[in-house]
């Protein structure tokens, strides 16, 4: 009898304990939904949220997101809710709200949607948070010192020349071809040499397994993010996508580890010869052709990084540093192919700086490419390389008097912000004068955030602009570009990176 009584007491105790847990969960969930429902948004159903409304076709999904954004912007809403399954995404549609989020020192943890990328990048600079992120950011800043970036110009220029050689065969043939893969391979070669100090020759070896695996990882990651049922492991693996992701992931990370091991051995040998690596010494940086990986290896010597830490950061820069710049350059060429009057201004500027010479591009040249820079920035306005930034709300957050409840995700969408007609008159067309000094001064500074802003802004934005100006100036020194496909037909696909649906089908005409 005593035993049965004891069992009964334990059972009642467990029941009370779990009832209390369930009660607390339901109470908190009710509060959460009540707060989130204060914001307008697309229709949502229990469990599925708004996902059943999503267009499966990526181009149609893009139009859908822009249409929703435009409707709520026109109604004057600064915040809207999108239910991604049972998860609430609160999106900022006005620069005033985006400013509060991006400048916050408390809402700095990336959203749950980044979890799939975390398998690849670990907790490197992109995905880490808190004290780890702050220390990494401080540690990595010297890799983007003026001296280091200037030393990379020889790489930008050298790979741009190979890029021109690769597409020369299409010049004057009248043939329409897809320029996007050529630009992407050029950017991949640049980031490999600048971040890892190694050449993979993707431009001359387009079927390189690393190139193919990185491309597929991006596609699978976007598919995972868009549909929450992929977050259930059995479903993810039952579709075959989970296994394919793991295979590509192993190939990419094994490649990175191999390169790091080779570079680390060279680093050790140089250290044993008494050589010192100083990223503040411009001559040494240029002479030694120091790469981002060399900075990490020197920090490792101080006991601040493990081998896996280095792998995470190298893969982070490989991921962030080639897809983003290749997309930016592709959209710039695509836009100029359809706006010949602006293309002529770019060509006039390039000719004024370089004349008929074949000389290399210098840092002073980059500073003079002011109209080209306007075109790049306008392309990033219409087609920001990173279409969305998300942050996890880990504690209730006051956003201009509106409560964002703990457990929600706040989203800043440059893809929508940049098309607000209040900030950008003629927002739906390509107009480089949006970036005249006069027009920049008129608008809110957070109306244009292609590289994010605030404490978590992109550490590599100067690197990206320098690379794009160097490669594009080389392109327009050699070619004019045309396209037969209507401008608006090549929809933007806001995957992890904003890519053109049809690539970049163009015709190039030799100038020299």
CA end-to-end span of the chain, whole Å?
A: 101
What residue numbers does the annotated binding site cover?
Answer: 458
Identify which has the larger pLDDT, 62 or 188: 188
Measured CA distances, 421 to 77, 94, 101, 426, 434 (Å): 14, 11, 22, 7, 12
Average pLDDT over residues 313-330: 87
Predicted confidence at residue 125, as pLDDT, reads 76
**DSSP output for 99-116:** HHHHH-SSS-SBPGGGHH
Predicted confidence at residue 52, as pLDDT, reads 79
The answer, yes or no, to whether residue 390 has pLDDT greater than 70, is yes
Res. 341 pLDDT band, cuts 50 70 90 = very high
Q: Select from 438, 446, 447 the least CA-distant residue to 418.
A: 447
Q: Which residues of 394-412 are buried (b: 16+ CB within 10 A; e: fewer)?
A: eeebebeeeebbebbbbbb
Q: Select from 325, 295, 328 the least CA-distant residue to 313.
A: 295
What residue numbers does the annotated binding site for heme cover?
Answer: 458
The answer, yes or no, to whether residue 351 has pLDDT greater than 90, is yes
Res. 89 pLDDT band, cuts 50 70 90 = confident
Q: What are phi and psi of 442, to 5 degrees?
A: -80, -25
User: What digits encode the pLDDT tens for the residues 393-431?
Assistant: 999 999 988 999 999 999 899 989 999 999 999 899 999
Predicted confidence at residue 3, as pLDDT, reads 58
Predicted confidence at residue 439, as pLDDT, reads 95
Predicted confidence at residue 278, as pLDDT, reads 61
Predicted confidence at residue 7, as pLDDT, reads 66
Q: Which two tokens stand for residue 311?
A: 């792998």
The answer, yes or no, to whether residue 34 has pLDDT greater than 80, is yes
Give SS3 for 33: helix
Q: Select from 245, 186, 191, 185 the least CA-distant residue to 211.
A: 185
Which of 21-25, 85-89, 169-173, 491-495 is predicted most confidently?
169-173
DSSP 361: P
Predicted confidence at residue 2, as pLDDT, reads 62
Identify which has the larger pLDDT, 273 or 53: 53
| Cα distance between residue 473 and residue 367, in whole Å | 12
User: What digits encode the pLDDT tens for the residues 266-314?
Assistant: 777 777 776 666 656 555 555 666 677 887 887 776 667 788 888 888 8
| Cα distance between residue 126 and residue 322, in whole Å | 15
The pTM score is 0.88
Predicted confidence at residue 436, as pLDDT, reads 96
Res. 84 pLDDT band, cuts 50 70 90 = confident
Average pLDDT over residues 98-121: 84
Predicted confidence at residue 25, as pLDDT, reads 76
Share of the chain above pLDDT 90, in %: 39
Close Cβ partners of 122 (under 8 Å, ≥ 6 residues apart)? 308, 311, 312, 315
User: What digits encode the pLDDT tens for the residues 152-210?
Assistant: 898 999 999 999 999 999 998 889 999 999 999 999 899 888 888 888 888 988 877 88
| Cα distance between residue 187 and residue 323, in whole Å | 8
Helices of type H across 227-339: 233-238, 241-272, 282-288, 292-301, 307-338
Q: Select from 492, 373, 449 the least CA-distant residue to 100.
A: 449
The answer, yes or no, to whether residue 213 has pLDDT greater than 70, is yes
Q: Where are the domains of the chain?
A: 37-507
Identify which has the larger pLDDT, 131 or 182: 182
Average pLDDT over residues 257-265: 84
Identify which has the larger pLDDT, 302 or 115: 115
Give SS3 for 48: coil
- The CATH class of 37-507 is mainly alpha
Give SS3 for 425: coil
The answer, yes or no, to whether residue 1 has pLDDT greater than 60, is no
Predicted confidence at residue 338, as pLDDT, reads 97
The answer, yes or no, to whether residue 256 has pLDDT greater than 80, is yes
Report the half-sphere exposure of 109 (CA within 13 A, side-chain side): 14
Predicted confidence at residue 9, as pLDDT, reads 66
């Amino acid at each position: 009898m005593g035993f049965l009584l004891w069992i009964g007491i334990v059972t009642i105790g467990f029941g009370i304990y779990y009832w209390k847990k369930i009660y607390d969960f339901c109470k908190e969930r009710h509060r959460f939904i009540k707060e989130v429902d204060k914001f307008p948004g697309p229709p949502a159903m229990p469990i599925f949220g708004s996902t059943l409304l999503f267009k499966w076709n990526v181009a149609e999904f893009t139009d859908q997101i822009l249409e929703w954004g435009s409707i709520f912007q026109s109604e004057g809403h600064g915040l809207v809710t999108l239910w991604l399954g049972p998860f609430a995404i609160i999106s900022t549609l006005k620069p005033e709200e985006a400013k509060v989020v991006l400048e916050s020192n408390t809402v700095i943890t990336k959203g749950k949607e980044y979890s799939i990328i975390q398998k690849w990048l670990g907790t490197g600079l992109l995905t880490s948070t808190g004290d780890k992120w702050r220390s990494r950011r401080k540690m990595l800043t010297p890799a983007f010192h003026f001296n280091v970036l200037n030393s990379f110009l020889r790489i930008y220029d050298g790979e741009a020349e190979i890029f021109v050689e690769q597409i020369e065969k299409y010049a004057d043939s009248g043939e329409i071809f897809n320029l996007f893969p050529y630009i992407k391979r050029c950017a991949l070669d640049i980031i490999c040499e600048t971040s890892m100090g190694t050449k993979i020759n993707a431009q001359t070896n387009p079927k390189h397994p690393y190139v193919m695996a990185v491309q597929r990882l991006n596609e699978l990651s976007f598919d995972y993010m868009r549909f929450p049922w992929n977050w259930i492991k059995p479903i993810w693996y039952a579709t075959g996508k989970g296994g394919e992701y793991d295979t590509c992931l192993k190939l990419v990370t094994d490649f990175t580890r191999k390169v790091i091991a080779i570079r680390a051995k060279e680093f050790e040998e140089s250290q044993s010869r008494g050589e010192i690596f100083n990223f503040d010494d411009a001559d040494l940086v240029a002479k030694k052709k120091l790469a981002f990986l060399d900075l990490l290896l020197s920090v490792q010597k101080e006991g601040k990084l493990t081998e896996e830490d280095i792998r995470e950061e190298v893969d982070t820069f490989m991921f962030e540093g080639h897809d983003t710049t290749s997309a930016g350059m592709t959209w710039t060429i695509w836009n100029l192919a359809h706006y010949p009057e602006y293309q002529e201004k770019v060509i006039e500027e390039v000719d004024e700086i370089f004349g008929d010479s074949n000389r290399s591009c210098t840092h002073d040249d980059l500073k003079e490419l002011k109209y080209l820079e306007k075109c790049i920035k306008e392309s990033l306005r219409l087609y920001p390389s990173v279409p969305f930034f998300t942050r996890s709300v880990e504690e209730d957050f006051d956003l201009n008097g509106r409560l964002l409840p703990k457990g929600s995700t706040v989203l800043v969408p440059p893809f929508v912000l940049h098309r607000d007609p209040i900030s950008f008159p003629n927002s739906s067309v390509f107009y480089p004068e949006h970036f005249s000094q006069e027009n920049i001064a008129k608008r809110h500074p957070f109306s244009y955030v292609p590289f994010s802003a605030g404490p978590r802004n992109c550490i590599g934005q100067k690197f990206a602009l320098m690379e794009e100006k160097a490669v594009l100036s080389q392109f327009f020194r050699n070619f004019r570009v045309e396209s037969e496909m209507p401008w608006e037909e090549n929809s933007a696909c806001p995957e992890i990176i904003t890519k053109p649906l049809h690539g970049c089908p163009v015709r190039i005409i030799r100038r020299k």
